[in-house]
């Protein structure tokens, strides 16, 4: 029945004179996400964005399009040549479908795009509603205040259109409209969610992962690769930088206090991430930290971590509860992969009693026993890079 999708966007509509830039980017992103399925006609018309279905299963296409950041809803619709009687017939067909699905009440919502047409929008709704009632009799009730289903009828300059359902999207802004960020991607629940949330605000993502192979297994790296692949469904191609932290952690273990292992390791990760980010023209770092969740994420720990870099650090989960983070992870499809029981470099070398209220001056004094620059450079020189697509 459906031959076209109406793509609805949110914040883009208030972008003023720059609106066309966001619309064009959104169109490009929709085309990109549909490439594995086929080549689709995606275009602007009358201040809207449309996707011609060309015979494809609408449910499959809707499920893909709704994942594009910047879209708040997708409406499967029927578009036909301009004919008012045909518009009424299409509305009847859609209403009968809704009756079969068990809906008990409806209303008609009309829009007259052709101002030369004899009926106003309100008059169209009354006329089409009357016709529908005459055809379906008492199979469904009319409720103009709180209907279970709305039948939207539009008469435009060159066509008519009918639709009912709106499948919600994720909102946000089109990917690529707000710069680029480097996300510290572990194998846990939090960092993939943080990455997704920043991408939702229009930032392109690259990811950096720290491991301690062979103390951590190749499976743990494969797990992170799988997470990056899931993210790439929303974020496009993801460049994954894999950094071995083993020599750094050995040096910390030999020269620093055991309880400082976690926070000093974290500072090394941030420094390395910043250098890689700068070389890749990224504007910020992204982490999955949340206040008080683990020992290194106390306010004192975060202060010590921040002091190791000069680049902005985005922490979109900073005030979220674990249950809220898990809900998003399940929604975007990363949760089941994140909970696979593979160790990461933080847990392998985690001290029994990590410092929870580190003092920056003490941490910096401890780092004086290390050749920080050499350790960082050696790690960067041995980075492995992989481009990951869904």
**Torsion angle, alpha carbons of 372, 373, 379, 382, to 10:** -160
Q: Which residues contact 347 (CB under 8 A, 6 or more apart)?
A: none
Q: In whole angstroms, what separates CA 259 from the centre of its chain?
A: 36
Nearest to 273 by CA among 260, 288, 261, 259: 288
Cα separation, 26 vs 12, whole angstroms:
9
Dihedral sign computed on CA atoms, order 53, 55, 59, 64? negative
Question: Is 157 annotated as ligand-binding?
Answer: no
185 is in an annotated binding site: yes
Is 297 part of any known ligand binding site?
yes
**How many alpha carbons lie under 13 Å from residue 278 in its C-beta half-sphere?**
10
Establish whether 266 is an annotated binding residue. Answer: yes
CA distance 365 to 361: 6
User: How do the residues of the chain divide into helix, strand and coil, expressed in percent and rounded to 5?
Assistant: 45, 20, 35
40 labelled as ligand-binding?
no
Q: 3-state class of 106 per DSSP? A: strand
Binding site feature residues for ATP: 184-185, 209-210, 266, 288, 297
Binding site feature residues: 184-185, 209-210, 266, 288, 297
């Amino acid at each position: 029945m459906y031959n076209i999708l109406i793509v609805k966007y949110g914040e883009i509509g208030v972008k003023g004179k720059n609106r066309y830039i966001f619309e064009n980017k959104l169109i490009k992103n929709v085309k990109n996400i549909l490439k594995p399925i086929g080549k689709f006609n995606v275009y602007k018309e009358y201040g809207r964005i449309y996707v011609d279905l060309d015979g494809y299963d609408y449910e499959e296409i809707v499920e893909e399009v709704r994942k594009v950041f910047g879209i708040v809803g997708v409406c499967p619709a029927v578009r036909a040549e301009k004919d008012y009687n045909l518009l009424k017939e299409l509305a009847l067909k859609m209403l009968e479908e809704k009756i079969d699905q068990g809906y008990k009440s409806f209303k008609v919502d009309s829009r007259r795009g052709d101002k030369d047409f004899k009926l106003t929008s309100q008059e169209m709704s009354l006329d089409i509603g009357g016709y529908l009632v005459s055809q379906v009799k008492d199979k469904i009730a009319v409720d103009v205040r709180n209907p279970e289903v709305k039948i939207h009828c539009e008469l435009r300059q060159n066509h008519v259109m009918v639709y009912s359902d709106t499948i919600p999207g994720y909102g946000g802004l089109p990917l690529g409209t707000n710069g680029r960020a480097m996300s510290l991607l572990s194998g846990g629940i939090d960092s993939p969610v943080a990455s997704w949330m920043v991408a939702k605000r229009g930032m392109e993502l690259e990811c950096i992962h720290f491991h301690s192979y062979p103390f951590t297994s190749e499976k743990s790296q494969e797990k992170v690769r799988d997470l990056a692949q899931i993210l790439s469904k929303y974020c496009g191609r993801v460049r994954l930088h894999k950094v071995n932290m083993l020599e750094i952690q050995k040096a910390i273990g030999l020269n620093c206090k055991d309880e400082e292992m976690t926070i000093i390791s974290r500072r090394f990760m941030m420094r390395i991430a910043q250098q890689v980010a700068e070389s890749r023209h990224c504007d910020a770092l992204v982490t999955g930290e949340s206040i008080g969740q683990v020992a290194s994420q106390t306010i004192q720990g975060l202060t010590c971590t921040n002091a190791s870099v000069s680049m902005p650090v985005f922490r979109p989960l900073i005030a979220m509860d674990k249950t809220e983070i898990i809900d998003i992870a399940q929604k975007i499809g990363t949760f089941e992969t994140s909970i696979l029981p593979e160790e990461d470099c933080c847990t392998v070398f985690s001290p029994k009693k990590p410092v929870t209220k580190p003092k920056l001056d003490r941490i910096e004094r401890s780092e004086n026993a290390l050749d920080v620059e050499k350790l960082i450079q050696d790690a960067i020189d041995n980075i492995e890079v992989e481009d990951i697509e869904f």
